[in-house]
Structure 1
Amino acid sequence: MPTGHRPERPRRLRRVLLPIGALVGVVAAVAVTIVALKATSGRTCTGLLSLQVVVAPSTEGVVRQAADTFKASQPIVDGKCVQVQVNARSSADVARELPTTQINPPALWLSDSSLWPQQVVADAVPGSPTLDIRPSLATSPLVVAASAPSAGKLGWPVSQVSWQRIIDGSVPAVLSDPTTTTEGLLTLTLMRGLLGNPDGTPKAELVDALLRIGRSTLTTVQDGFGKVSQGPDTAPVFTATEQSVLATNRQAGKREAVAVYPQEGTVSLDHPLVRVTRATEPPGTGEAANAFEQVLRSSDTAKRFADAGFRDTKGAAPTSWRDADGVRGDLPRTLPAPNAKQVSELLKTWTVLNLDARMLTVLDVSAPTKQKAPTGQSKVELERDAALRALGMLPDTTQIGLWAFSTQQTPTTDWTELVGLGPLGEQVGAGPRRAALQSGLTRLPSLVKGGSALFDTTLAAVQSVRRAYDPVKVNSVVLITNGRNDNPQGIDLPTLLDRLRAQVDKARPLPVITIGIGPDADMDALRQIASITGGKAYQAQEPGDIQNVLLDAMSQRSCRPNC
């Protein structure tokens, strides 16, 4: 065969960082292996056919070896030598970019979970590629990864460990970002199953857990293993694949981390192979993809997956696993996988809760708040405790301010600013604003006096937040009251509503979330205030309801008025 017709010899390209533009949709090459396939004996290539394959990073080594095997078979499609290009990308990144990727789009995608291609299918728009989600190549269950000392705090290995124990806050636990990692996303689905409502909406307990865990989100799962390596005695627990635990320990040459299998069961990363078809793909791409798929589904490749720490497609583990690997060989109980709609709702809730907020909290300290609830606490003490609990869940970047209101609070106003609006982590006096807010909330019972100046205070609060409106944050006012406006020298309800209506700006939304405590709260007025501003009105009939309605209000604050 003439030299000029031979394809180039295989060569490994250096790692190259390419700019990713939303307009061009370029798939960045994280680790590229190009395998040029020679023509079979007696035949000549008339050109090259590039087969783009994008894979989850954990499977990259196995797919490289499969590409080498494919090379050895020397296939030609329609007279063209097939050139296989393997790119390692996170499945979340591929799912985001796939609909618009125009340069070197993949023909095959080995995702680590069916969740991501299902999302692409669910969100498809005209011009999106067609996805054929094919059967799994390997599996790996989601486990709780921990150092041995941290796992011991959960009761491991003496007793079974519950997911509830992990998310209740008694042991430091962190989550990898569910918008960019499959492990984080699957963990959210498990939390939803434990703490969500049947209709998919979040219970207050779920919002509580998401706020708490979201304060210390890991960028990647490897960051969690880094914490285990650096400080095993204080390292938090986190979720990871069983395969990653085994791979980490093998690389370290010792058992650095252990895989804990919660007793309720877990979900598995199923690693489906996805055929991605575009109308503009070169002729022969489908035939080349099918030929390479046969190699990926061969017994040799299955053995390579097992050697890399994966289970087979039915969940069976290799017999070679040892206790020293930090994993368990028996088949864990498998829980149902979520559907695309459930995933979308979860990501929406997560995104809302983790958006940077700018929120002025306004609490009623009029004389009726001294009244005792059945629990023995006064209403103002219930307000204080609910606000303190919520404060502890918010990240330092959240901007919070605190007002207390009743008639006669100051010589000129019916409200007093206890802490100015700003980031929780910002220094205020001798300490951070978070500490100042805690101190201000603790003072509330000592401020109780006078009547309720509900209408004047509401208008003043809205005007205050709007004056320093931040368009990159979720601006809102949260107002908690237990009674009715009884300030005869102030504005009436029609005047308040007219002035609020005049300030509505759809481009700069500022919802007022109102919470009425007990049966004496003027819910008609609170609903009208919330409606005009695009907020929502809640009524906490029982003392225990205050915490729940406050958490629900926080979970919906960014989608107002379209929730």
Structure 2
Amino acid sequence: MSAFDDVPEWAPRNPPEPGGPESPSPFLGASQPTGLPPRGAPSGHDGEPFDAFSRPDRAPRPAGPAHAADKPPRGPWPLGGGRPPRRVGGVLLGPLAGAIGLVLLTGFGAYAIASPGVGCSGGGAVTLDVAAAPDVEPAVTRTAGRFNDAAHEVGGRCARARVRAADPAAVATLLSGKGVAGVARRPDVWIPDSSLWTGLAGGPAQAAGASGRSAGIASTPIVLAVPRGLATRLRNLGAPERPSWKDLLAAAGTAPGTGGDPAAGDGAGVIPPRLLRLQVPDPARSATGMGALLLAGALLGGAPGGEAPFTGAVRTIREGVAVSVDAQFAAFATSASSGRGEADRYPVAMAPEQAVFAYNARRPAEAAVAVYPAEGTVYLDHPVAVLARDRAKAGAARLLEAALADGETREDLRRLGFRAPGGAAPASFSPRTGLDPRPPRALPGTPAAEVRRTMQSWAQLSLSIRMLSIIDVSGSMDEEVVPGVTRLQSTVRTAQGGLALLPDDSELGQWIFSTGLQGDRDWRELVGVGPLDQRLGSATRRQLVLSAFARIRVKEHGDTGLYDTVMAAFDYMKRTYKPEYVNSVLLWTDGRNEDPGGPSLEETLDHMRREYDPERPVQVNMLGYGSDVDVNELRRIARVTHGDAYVARTPGQIQAIFLRAVSRRVCEPDC
């Protein structure tokens, strides 16, 4: 949770706008983690929501008087309405009969709407408040209608269900007791799109919710939705029918080249690097986004370097966060354009399979194809969580739960594009519709505690970083580590690669240090800390940092003023602390303190213990390079601030070392 409020990090921060997920709505088909689309969406096949329960398209009939005016007169009656109305006893029967019929029809309609159901008896009805994810709400509403018509009774009272579409993230926030994010009423029955939400909500929701894929009312796997043109190109390149997630993440990596991107695969794939532009629904608001993080953790967590590969994958996901699944598909319309450049890679969407079905059902200009990765995927299982505390409501909820498992509901869900809980696909799934009826392998379920840990990691890693980078320029940095490459040159190249991994909304500054660099000071500022995309004169800060890297030179006969420098950097970052960022110092060195006139190690540790403020935490991480580094000394300093020290022996290790240092913020402040 954030240090500044009591709402969980995964909780949505903004309440829904009017017309949001709790408003009555037509069926929308595609899963929409952030709620229903705004009213007034563009018309036509690309803009109209898919409705599985509407009649097939037919030519609309003219409405009202205009339609009537189109008909030729059928008789001499002066108003053109055909034969005149009959008179009985001097009374015009046509208008009178119409008025009487309207009154009777209106009265019957009002009764039908208000009636608690045929056959209900006893006291007041037991009415269940059912909150359903928007993607299944239409089918749940139809089941509730049949349930109400069946006149179930609980303790002699009629049982009814009233269904509303509700954003699962908002309901989970409410049930967790940590805040309100657009849903203020606790439901009696909750049907989110995934058991991941019931785990995050905890308490009764976790106990009552489904624990696996088989317990939900419908299932849909998370797939990679690609434009049909891209699917054709991948097939022509020789890509396997079911490529690996690692190859797909490599092709969507945001850093230039794939060699240094921890999300990259082994480089042996046939998918060209940077071919794809990955879009993922916000993991804080979407089970699909959460599933993407869990996939990254499951597939990359065991890779060498621990947290570093996961950090790289998070960076790739963070760069492509979309507001909704519908927003992801909107980019497909431009995917068929030619002359694709670096800034216009193929858009691909991490999405539920059912959303691909619903998107294609709208007959878009560029259809989508679902790609099923070889390693397997996470399923959205749509569990039924009974939250009612009242005994009568709990009994009614169990009856409704049984109704949700019947054949009619299963058929309604198939028409929406969902698989059965066991994975069986609707008959409409075929290559023609961009879907494979064969169920992809389901990855093992994730315990609730691991889901919470992953979402906490996302909340911290998705924060922009504010870092002061400091490079050692003492004389020993001029030593060669490989023929023709000095230690300083290797460090600078690593820093340049690290800079490419930082998004533009990061803040960065660059210092160098040795001894006596600026009068009696052991450090000198090259570029002040600030946003990388900020323009300073004719260049951005990112460009200035790159230019500064090119000008860094070793100070001949310079020593290592480590203690003075690290204290000054720590004090500066604490003084300029910004709570919306992860504030840190990253110091690169090849040795140990060699400034006899400066502070001792104990004085340095005492100063940093005294100045460290958990309310304004500044983390110090040390990157040692070479055999002369005293890692224990560096680690003692770093761990006062909940940071750590890392040592690289070869140039090939330095990229992973940098990513591990950046990943360190996953566990702060309890590292």
Q: TM-score higher than 0.5 here? A: yes
Match runs of 1:254-273 below 5 Å: 256-273=367-384
Are residue 167 (structure 1) and residue 254 (structure 2) matched?
A: no
Q: Is the 8 A contact 1:255 1:326 kept in 2?
A: no
Deviation of the 1:132 alpha carbon: 4.5
1:107 alignment counterpart = 188
Q: Is the 8 A contact 1:141 1:266 kept in 2?
A: yes
Q: Is the 8 A contact 2:117 2:148 kept in 1?
A: no
2:218 alignment counterpart = 138
The CA distance in 1 between the partners of 2:25 and 2:123, in whole Å, is 25
Any stretches of 5+ residues in structure 2 without a counterpart? 1-13, 27-111, 254-272, 338-343
- Alpha-carbon RMSD across the aligned residues, in angstroms, is 2.9
Taking structure 1 as reference, are residues 428 and 117 closer, same or farther at Cα in structure 2, changes over 3 Å only? Answer: same
The CA distance in 1 between the partners of 2:128 and 2:334, in whole Å, is 41
Deviation of the 1:331 alpha carbon: 2.5
Deviation of the 1:157 alpha carbon: 8.6
The CA distance in 1 between the partners of 2:122 and 2:115, in whole Å, is 10
Between 1:189-198 and 1:155-164, the stretch displaced more is: 155-164
Deviation of the 1:53 alpha carbon: 1.0
Give the aligned residue type for 1:143. V
Are residue 243 (structure 1) and residue 354 (structure 2) matched?
A: yes
1:272-298 CA distance string (max 9 Å, x none): 2222243xx3x4102221222222111
Are residue 362 (structure 1) and residue 470 (structure 2) matched?
A: yes
Q: Is the 8 A contact 1:132 1:276 kept in 2?
A: no
Between 1:474-483 and 1:545-554, the stretch displaced more is: 545-554
Give the aligned residue type for 1:438. L
Are residue 40 (structure 1) and residue 118 (structure 2) matched?
A: yes
Q: Is the 8 A contact 1:474 1:558 kept in 2?
A: no
Taking structure 1 as reference, are residues 462 and 159 closer, same or farther at Cα in structure 2, changes over 3 Å only? Answer: closer
Report SS of the residue matched to 1:358. strand
The CA distance in 2 between the partners of 1:213 and 1:356, in whole Å, is 14
TM-score (norm 2): 0.73
Taking structure 1 as reference, are residues 403 and 248 closer, same or farther at Cα in structure 2, changes over 3 Å only? Answer: same
The CA distance in 2 between the partners of 1:481 and 1:209, in whole Å, is 28
Give the aligned residue type for 2:333. S
Match runs of 1:457-536 below 5 Å: 457-536=565-644
2:325 alignment counterpart = 221
Deviation of the 1:399 alpha carbon: 1.4
Between 1:441-450 and 1:389-398, the stretch displaced more is: 441-450
Give the aligned residue type for 1:181. S
Deviation of the 1:79 alpha carbon: 4.4
Deviation of the 1:187 alpha carbon: 1.6
2:85 alignment counterpart = none
Deviation of the 1:220 alpha carbon: 2.0
The CA distance in 2 between the partners of 1:375 and 1:350, in whole Å, is 41
1:427-479 CA distance string (max 9 Å, x none): 22223222222222233347776222212211221222122222333222111
Q: Is the 8 A contact 2:474 2:515 kept in 1?
A: yes
Between 1:238-247 and 1:521-530, the stretch displaced more is: 521-530
The CA distance in 2 between the partners of 1:257 and 1:28, in whole Å, is 25
Taking structure 1 as reference, are residues 248 and 221 closer, same or farther at Cα in structure 2, changes over 3 Å only? Answer: same
1:340-364 CA distance string (max 9 Å, x none): 2332232222222111322111111
Within the candidate set 173, 184, 197, 1:116 is matched to: 197
Taking structure 1 as reference, are residues 156 and 40 closer, same or farther at Cα in structure 2, changes over 3 Å only? Answer: farther
1:210 alignment counterpart = 314
Deviation of the 1:212 alpha carbon: 2.9
Taking structure 1 as reference, are residues 448 and 430 closer, same or farther at Cα in structure 2, changes over 3 Å only? Answer: farther
Q: Is the 8 A contact 1:37 1:83 kept in 2?
A: no
Taking structure 1 as reference, are residues 133 and 228 closer, same or farther at Cα in structure 2, changes over 3 Å only? Answer: same
Taking structure 1 as reference, are residues 407 and 251 closer, same or farther at Cα in structure 2, changes over 3 Å only? Answer: same
The CA distance in 2 between the partners of 1:156 and 1:174, in whole Å, is 24
The CA distance in 2 between the partners of 1:176 and 1:202, in whole Å, is 25
| Structure ID, larger Rg | 2
Are residue 51 (structure 1) and residue 132 (structure 2) matched?
A: no
Deviation of the 1:64 alpha carbon: 1.5
2:228 alignment counterpart = 148
Q: Is the 8 A contact 1:54 1:87 kept in 2?
A: yes
TM-score (norm 1): 0.86
Match runs of 1:263-412 below 5 Å: 263-278=374-389, 281=390, 283-374=391-482, 377-412=485-520
The CA distance in 2 between the partners of 1:324 and 1:358, in whole Å, is 49
Deviation of the 1:83 alpha carbon: 4.1
1:113-139 CA distance string (max 9 Å, x none): 222213333xx3xx9885253722111
Give the aligned residue type for 1:186. G
Q: Is the 8 A contact 1:363 1:479 kept in 2?
A: yes
Give the aligned residue type for 1:209. A
Give the aligned residue type for 1:29. E
The CA distance in 1 between the partners of 2:113 and 2:364, in whole Å, is 32
2:256 alignment counterpart = none
Report SS of the residue matched to 1:143. strand
1:166-185 CA distance string (max 9 Å, x none): 11122322322222111111
2:296 alignment counterpart = 191
Report SS of the residue matched to 1:52. strand
Deviation of the 1:158 alpha carbon: 4.9
2:75 alignment counterpart = none
1:14-56 CA distance string (max 9 Å, x none): xxxxx969xxxxx972437998662434x54532322011111
Give the aligned residue type for 2:546. Q
Taking structure 1 as reference, are residues 47 and 312 closer, same or farther at Cα in structure 2, changes over 3 Å only? Answer: same
Between 1:303-312 and 1:74-83, the stretch displaced more is: 74-83
Q: Is the 8 A contact 2:300 2:310 kept in 1?
A: yes
Are residue 29 (structure 1) and residue 22 (structure 2) matched?
A: yes
1:309-348 CA distance string (max 9 Å, x none): 1111211112233433221222223332322233223222
Deviation of the 1:224 alpha carbon: 0.9
Give the aligned residue type for 2:249. I
Identity of aligned residues (%): 33
Within the candidate set 520, 524, 528, 1:420 is matched to: 528
